[in-house]
Amino acid sequence: MLSMLSGTHTPQSGGASPGGSQTGATTPIETHPEQIQHAPIQQSTKPRKRIVVAMTGATGAILGIKVLIALRRLNIETHLVMSKWAEATIKYETDYHPSNVRALADHVHNINDMAAPVSSGSFKTEGMIVVPCSMKTLAAIHSGFCDDLISRTADVMLKERRKLVLVARETPLSDIHLRNMLEITRSGAIIFPPVPAYYIRAASVDDLVDQSVGRMLDMFDLDTGDFTRWEGWEK
């Protein structure tokens, strides 16, 4: 266990699914978990806000990891669901192990546990973010084919009119992808491709990732304070 995660207790609704190595992945991103510092969690008497975070096997695992880190720092209660291919991608692309990622969340639910609290519309939450979101998961959500906890929880967000942000990772996009995106947007979801902002003149990939994560959480009216916002041309 990494030093930054030591002593963290994470309740789980079920065991993790095993994952193998993923073929055809993009170039791994250099990440160093031990260098990421956590700000102290602010104490409050108000009930904590809840957000469901789902991670699929699409490339870009570091985006989901940094979303969890940012939400932890903002004292948001997180409910994590990971697919088996998300676990494989985490190991392939980053220096994290899936157990380290699970430890970043307040609650972890097995993807096959259809009785988990997040599967019900009575479970109160600010919304859900699927990051990264594969085209398979996008298609399942679009069709209402709730064969796992990720697609079921996303379906709940749509029917309850709650925030659903899908960080879609694919390029180029086929007409099938685009049609699914258009129709699911009409149902209330937000499609958020992690497009880098070059105006920040990033010095590293981490800077680009932080900017994308900050903009994702803007969708939930949460400010990470981790990136430079556009304020017009510099003089």
Is 219 labelled a binding residue? no
Annotated binding residue at 96? Answer: no
- Which CATH code, of 3.40.50.1950, 3.30.40.10, 3.40.50.1370, 3.40.50.2000, is assigned to 51-218? 3.40.50.1950
In the beta sheet, which residues pair with residue 118?
Answer: none
> Phi first, then psi: what are they for 108, rounded to 5°?
-125, 130
137 is in an annotated binding site: yes
* Span 45-79, pLDDT tens digits: 788 999 999 999 999 999 999 999 999 999 999 99
> 106 with 133: CB under 8 angstroms?
no
Is residue 169 annotated as involved in ligand binding?
yes
| Average confidence (pLDDT) over 17-44 | 50
The answer to whether 162 is a known ligand-binding residue is: no
Sorted by sequence, the CB contacts under 8 Å of residue 164 that are 6+ apart come out as 127, 128, 129, 130, 141, 154, 157, 158, 188, 189, 190
Cα–Cα distance for residue pair 148/139, rounded to 1 Å:
13
Is 199 labeled as ligand-binding? yes
User: Phi, psi at residue 81, to the nearest 5°?
Assistant: -130, 125
Q: For residue range 152-207, list pLDDT tens digits in order.
A: 999 999 999 999 999 999 999 999 999 999 999 999 999 999 998 999 999 999 99
Q: Do the annotations mark residue 151 as ligand-binding?
A: no
Domain ranges of the chain: 51-218
Is 59 annotated in some ligand binding site? yes
Angle (CA) 28 190 210, round 5°: 40
Q: What is the CA radius of gyration of the chain?
A: 17
Strand partners, 52: 79, 128
Ligand-binding site membership of 136 (annotated): yes
